[in-house]
Amino acid sequence: MSSKYSFVIPFMNEEDVLPLLIKRLRRVIDDLDASAEVIFVDDGSKDKSAAIIAKAINANPEMKLIRLSRNFGHQIAVTAGLNKASGEAIIIMDADLQDPPEVVHELIASWKEGNEIVHAQRNRRQGETWFKKKSAMVFYSILKRLSSIDIPRDVGDFRLIDAKVLNAFRQMPERDRFLRGMFSWVGFKQSIVRFDRDEREAGVTKYPLGKMMKLAIDGLVGFSDAPLRLALWMGVLVSVGAISYGLYILIIAMFTDQLVAGWASTVVILSFLSGMNLLISGVIGLYVGRIHNEAKQRPLYFVLEEVEAVIPTPKGKRAHVKG
């Protein structure tokens, strides 16, 4: 029998924080008004994280574990969990407890009011560096200006979605995923619940600068053609500048004797034009690269195994492994 609520929780190398997460999640589930399933997605952990979840399944039959064959990335891991979810309302949250499980009650309350997507928006971001806070602020400001859809500021992947939203999401096959943009793009009735984001309970962030940059590029390229339009106008501007400079040189040569032969101006102009050419080619290359990824039509991920609890037998309850 399907559950009313589905939790989707991706993780990678979170052995230090998972026991506390399970304890707090257990209290939240016990307070719900209906049954729930919890889908943990192991995105290629190298520590004991998967073993901790597999052990917890024996005492918590509503929990399930999906182990991916390698690290496919956070957005793909969330997608793997969503493809498994069967609830009427699906809650997406991270395993590091920066997304407090207790906020789920507020998300559900908003859902019951008729909202089909409930975003959890951060009031404060405790434990994060000045650079991360400022870079996030700049990113959301740029994305809001350039994107054709309204992506809420200071919203990560912590949210609740209705089953009908999940069905719409499953029809979106793109490979380079930016989930917060995808959920904003699908429409439906949306609302926001504000919360204070806690410090990480244990371990280290799984989103270093390199991954943050990639996610930002996926968001900009995936939900805006502004970089292409910017490249076009920069090309036009440079061309107008070059023509204007050429006319200036022509006038100097025809009506004065002040034209001095030299290499400096030539080198500067050639360097500038070459740089512009590389910049515009790079922008176009980002879009061509995404087309290339889509054209390959590879699966988004592969599952190594699935671990679920089974109905107790006379010999006792045990974990069931599939795959």
- Stated pTM of the model: 0.68
Mean pLDDT for the stretch of residues 102-112 = 93
Under 8 Å between Cβ of 220 and 146: yes
- d(CA 70, CA 273) in angstroms, rounded, equals 43
Mean pLDDT for the stretch of residues 46-57 = 90
- Cβ burial of 111 (10 Å; 0-12, 13-18, 19+) is buried
Query: Given a cut of 60, is residue 62 above it in pLDDT?
Result: yes
Tell me the percentage of the chain whose pLDDT exceeds 70: 60
- d(CA 80, CA 182) in angstroms, rounded, equals 15
What is the per-residue pLDDT across 148-181, written as a single tens digit (0 to 9) for each? 667 777 788 899 999 999 999 998 887 777 787 8
Contacts of 183 (CB under 8 A, 6+ apart): 117, 119, 159, 161, 165, 169
Mean pLDDT for the stretch of residues 43-71 = 90
- d(CA 184, CA 161) in angstroms, rounded, equals 11
Query: Given a cut of 70, is residue 294 above it in pLDDT?
Result: no
- Cβ burial of 22 (10 Å; 0-12, 13-18, 19+) is buried
H or E element, residue 28: helix 18-30
Q: Which of 54-68, 70-84, 257-271 has the lowest average pLDDT?
A: 257-271
What is the per-residue pLDDT across 224-274, written as a single tens digit (0 to 9) for each? 566 666 666 666 676 667 667 667 666 766 767 665 566 446 656 765 676
89, 95, 11, 209: CA torsion to nearest 10: 110
Predicted local confidence at residue 160, as pLDDT: 95
Predicted local confidence at residue 123, as pLDDT: 80
| CA atoms within a 13 Å half-sphere pointing along the CA-CB vector of 99 | 27
Query: Given a cut of 70, is residue 102 above it in pLDDT?
Result: yes
| CA atoms within a 13 Å half-sphere pointing along the CA-CB vector of 226 | 13
Predicted local confidence at residue 151, as pLDDT: 73
